[in-house]
């Protein structure tokens, strides 16, 4: 607010001897108060620095309820000379801080900022899903391998059924289509994927058993001292 003054500031004894910024500040206090005084002081002290002046104006706007906390934080971020990606990441943090988005949405938004559309973005989003327990570890690895066009297989369960005796050991597999293609390229043929996997695993078991048997039958050499 501008004060009602009859005499110019220069005619007041308080102005005598003042020069430069000191005069301007005293003059501002003579003519203004409240919000207008703060803006005038900001102009005097920071008028030669556009960024500092703009920040002071935003702070005054915020202090006098002309900007919400959220709008103030966004506008302050825009003044920080960030590159496009840095500014977008900062805005995600501000959205999260003001409860505009959830932790999950913040992580997804950051992934989209940091990765261009394509396989690596899809993998980054899968990592977010795994981090927030939306998918299991093995499902993450399976989908990641499929996105990269890589064969993948894993044992997701195993155990022993005592009622079946020595045949009670079981393994449960999960795999992607690329793994079946890989087996077909290596000579495994079947009517169903399950049959192809069973044939492959049977060969693995036979190979492992044969290796153990060969090891147990290997001759033992003794050194004799004359």
Domain-ending residue, one of 67, 93, 113:
67
Residue 210: pLDDT band with limits 50, 70, 90:
low
In a domain, 97, yes or no: no
In a domain, 75, yes or no: no
Q: Quick count: other Cβ atoms within 10 Å of Cβ 21?
A: 10
Structural domain for 202, as ranges? 153-209
What pTM, to 2 d.p., does this model score? 0.76
Residue 211 in this model has a pLDDT that exceeds 80:
no
CA 219 from chain center: how many Å?
A: 59
Helix axes 84-97, 103-114, angle to 10 degrees: 180
Domain-ending residue, one of 67, 87, 115:
67
Residue 52 in this model has a pLDDT that exceeds 90:
yes
Residue 65 in this model has a pLDDT that exceeds 50:
yes
The total domain count for the chain is 2
Between 12-16, 22-26, 148-152, 191-195, the lowest mean confidence (pLDDT) is in 12-16
Residue 42 in this model has a pLDDT that exceeds 50:
yes
Mean pLDDT over 198-218 rounds to 70
In a domain, 33, yes or no: yes
Domain-ending residue, one of 48, 67, 86:
67
Mean pLDDT over 23-52 rounds to 93
In a domain, 195, yes or no: yes
Which pairs with CB-CB distance under 8 Å and at least 24 residues apart come from 4-8?
5/30, 5/31
- Tens digits of residue pLDDT in 17-35: 889 999 999 999 999 999 9
In a domain, 102, yes or no: no
Residue 224 in this model has a pLDDT that exceeds 50:
no
In a domain, 84, yes or no: no
Mean pLDDT over 165-189 rounds to 89
In a domain, 34, yes or no: yes
Q: What is the model's pLDDT at position 1?
A: 67
In a domain, 217, yes or no: no
Question: Among the residues of the chain, which ranges form H helices?
Answer: 20-31, 34-46, 50-63, 69-78, 84-97, 103-114, 119-131, 137-147, 177-185, 193-217
CA dist., res. 10 & res. 32, Å (int): 15
Q: What is the model's pLDDT at position 218?
A: 43
Burial label for 176, CB within 10 Å (0-12, 13-18, 19+), is: buried
Proportion of the chain above pLDDT 90, given as a percent: 70
- Computed over every residue of the chain, the mean pLDDT equals 89
- Tens digits of residue pLDDT in 128-151: 999 999 999 999 999 999 999 999
Residue 126: pLDDT band with limits 50, 70, 90:
very high
Checking DSSP bridges between strand 153-160 and strand 169-175, what pairing results, if any?
antiparallel
Would you state the structure tokens that stand for residue 136, as one six-digit string? 């299991």
């Amino acid at each position: 607010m501008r004060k009602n003054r009859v005499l110019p500031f220069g005619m007041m004894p308080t102005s005598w001897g003042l020069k430069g910024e000191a005069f301007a500040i005293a003059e501002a206090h003579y003519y203004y108060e409240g919000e207008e005084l703060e803006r005038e002081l900001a102009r005097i002290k920071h008028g030669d620095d556009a960024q500092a002046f703009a920040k002071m104006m935003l702070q005054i706007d915020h202090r006098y309820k002309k900007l919400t906390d959220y709008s103030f934080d966004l506008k302050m971020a825009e003044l920080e000379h960030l590159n496009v990606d840095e500014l977008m990441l900062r805005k995600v943090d501000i959205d999260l801080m003001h409860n505009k988005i959830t932790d999950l949405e913040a992580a997804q938004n950051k992934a989209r900022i940091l990765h261009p559309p394509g396989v690596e973005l899809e993998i980054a989003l899968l990592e977010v899903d795994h981090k927030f327990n939306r998918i299991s570890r093995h499902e993450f690895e399976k989908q990641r391998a499929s996105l990269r066009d890589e064969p993948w297989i894993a044992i997701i369960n195993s155990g022993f059924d005592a009622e079946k005796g020595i045949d009670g050991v079981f393994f449960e597999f999960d795999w992607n289509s690329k793994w079946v293609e890989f087996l077909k390229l290596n000579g495994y043929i079947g009517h169903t994927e399950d049959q192809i996997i069973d044939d492959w695993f049977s060969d693995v078991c036979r190979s492992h058993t044969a290796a153990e048997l060969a090891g147990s039958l290997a001759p033992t050499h003794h050194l004799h001292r004359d």
